[in-house]
Amino acid sequence: ADQTALKKLAGYRAAEFVEDGMVVGIGSGSTIAFVVEALGKRVAEEGLQIKGIPTSDKTRRTAAKLGIPMHNVDDVDHIDLTIDGADQIDENFAAIKGGGAALLWEKIVAVNSRRNIWVVDDTKLAPQLTHYLPVEVIPYGADQLFKRLKYAGYQPTWRLDQNGNPVRTDSANYLIDLHFTKMPDPFKLGRELTSMVGVVEHGLFLNIVDQVVVGRADETIAVFD
């Protein structure tokens, strides 16, 4: 099956973990689009009662259009379950996220959720994290920060849109993508990055996920706890 079919398979399976009455964090990206589609159907057909908390403006709009009531993260007491995608997940359930430019709100929603589920097709699984690492940075002084990241050997590149302009996140920050051949200690790297003045957050999601739903090439779904 092609990757999109696997994303749909996994997305629909993950949506089944949503129960009536839940406050649900809704992730960003093309895999989550299927989760939103499945939840929209349940809201419309079963009268599923949920409160959706978006991880991006795009998700807020897409989910609202499908009839899912959307609220802000500060409108609720807590989030029961968040379902999100990922760019790469290693054997320790560490992930790199942020390919969709939503990493800051995704991490805010994730850390305020009682449970986190990631939904991926099996191309996202890897023994080690090798995917580029997005870092969200404050625009003021970002060029200086870029130079510091370069000298530190992180091989930084600006996240540009299709017109070659720097992408602005929903918090109006910039994204710098770092490139590695190997990442021996994600925890150490994460601490180093967040200690740099001007760095808001990075796309290493460590000790966050509880369950991973994987759409596999043989069209089966694996759920790893």
Q: Which stretch binds ligand DER (CB under 6 A): 14-22, 26-34, 70-78, 153-161?
A: 26-34
Contact of 109 with 219, CB cutoff 8 Å: no
| 85 touches 118 (CB < 8 A) | yes
CA distance 215 to 87: 14
Nearer to ligand DER, 148 or 168 (CB): 168
Nearest in space to 87 (alpha carbons), one of 125, 135, 33, 128? 125
Residue 16 annotated to the active site? no
> Known binder of ligand: residue 47?
no
- Taking CB under 6 A as the rule, does residue 11 contact ligand DER? no
Contact 105/56 with Cβ under 8 angstroms? yes
Q: Annotated catalytic residue: which of 91, 106, 201, 219?
A: 106
29 binds ligand DER, rule: CB under 6 A: yes
Q: Tell me the longest C-alpha to C-alpha distance in the chain.
A: 56
Is residue 177 a contact point for ligand DER (CB under 6 A)? no
Candidates 25, 40, 54, 98: give the one binding ligand DER (CB under 6 A): 98
Packing angle, helices 30-46 and 3-15, rounded to 10: 40
Binding-site positions for substrate read 28-31, 84-87, 97-100, 124
**Residues assigned a catalytic role:** 106
Interface residues with ligand DER (CB under 6 A)?
27-31, 84-87, 97-100, 102-103, 106
